[in-house]
């Protein structure tokens, strides 16, 4: 596997499972040998077949920030290739660490996500406590989300779960031994939300990083 392939799969794995990431890349390559691709070929692949393949399974507008950043890096190696910028998506490698043992940090995380544009509800469920902002939803939503998380967890570890829930989009991901769930309006920037949620990490045993 080439270094570029590895980086693409790593970036894709922030929004889909590693196996799905590999499948998407193989379909985008369409039988071409990756070793024969130049930087400008990779940029075209990212912005063409790979983006279309990803849009077929997730309602994203453009590339997720991690892939957008990679496309710019590749384009820098091929000066004559232009990469369309996505001004609403900020590419960053910084992670957001949260001490789940502290109620103040759990509340700050949930409140911060709830204030994001298009967000309808946020639920954080952990062994240290539960925090939520339900907006117009009733508390029955908590049981519903916990059931989804348990079913997914029984099938094996999962990275992220996405579905359309009534009039909203639902993104749910495991966090330590619990989960973080966000419901958004249909028009919300799903790529940006998926990217931010993928960067949130629980501090092990409350130890500061």
- Give the pLDDT confidence of 129-174 residue by residue, as tens digits: 999 999 888 999 899 999 999 988 888 777 888 887 767 888 898 9
Instruction: Please give the pLDDT value at position 31.
Output: 81
Dist. CA 32–CA 123, nearest whole Å: 43
Model pTM above 0.75: no
Vertex 143 angle, CA 137 and 144, to 5°? 75
- Give the pLDDT confidence of 63-120 residue by residue, as tens digits: 777 788 888 888 887 655 555 554 444 444 467 888 889 999 999 999 989 988 889 9
Instruction: Please give the pLDDT value at position 29.
Output: 87
Where do the structural domains in the chain lie, given as residue ranges?
3-76, 96-206
Vertex 47 angle, CA 44 and 52, to 5°? 120
- Give the pLDDT confidence of 6-36 residue by residue, as tens digits: 888 888 887 777 777 888 888 888 888 877 8
Instruction: Please give the pLDDT value at position 66.
Output: 78
DSSP of 166-195, one letter per residue?
A: TTEEEEEEEETTEEEEEEEETTS-HHHHHH
Q: How many CB atoms lie within 10 A of CB 86?
A: 18
The domain 96-206 is placed in CATH, from the list 3.30.450.30, 3.40.50.720, 3.30.470.10, 3.30.450.20, at: 3.30.450.30
């Amino acid at each position: 596997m080439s270094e570029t392939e590895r980086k693409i799969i790593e970036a894709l794995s922030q929004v889909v499972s590693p196996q799905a990431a590999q499948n998407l890349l193989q379909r985008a390559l369409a039988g071409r040998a990756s070793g024969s691709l130049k930087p400008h070929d990779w940029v075209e692949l990212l912005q063409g077949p790979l983006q279309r393949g990803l849009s077929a399974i997730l309602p994203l507008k453009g590339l997720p920030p991690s892939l957008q950043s990679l496309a710019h890096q590749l384009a820098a190696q091929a000066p004559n290739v232009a990469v369309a910028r996505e001004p609403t998506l900020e590419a960053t490698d910084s992670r957001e660490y949260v001490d789940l043992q502290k109620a103040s940090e759990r509340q700050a995380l949930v409140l911060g996500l709830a204030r994001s544009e298009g967000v309808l509800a946020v639920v954080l469920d952990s062994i240290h406590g539960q925090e939520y902002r339900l907006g117009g939803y009733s508390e029955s939503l908590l049981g519903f989300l916990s059931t989804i998380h348990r079913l997914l967890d029984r099938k094996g570890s999962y990275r992220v779960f996405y579905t359309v829930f009534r009039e909203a989009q639902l993104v749910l991901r495991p966090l330590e031994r619990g989960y973080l769930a966000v419901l958004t309006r249909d028009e919300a920037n799903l790529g940006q939300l998926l990217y931010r949620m993928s960067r949130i990490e629980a501090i092990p045993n409350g130890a500061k990083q």
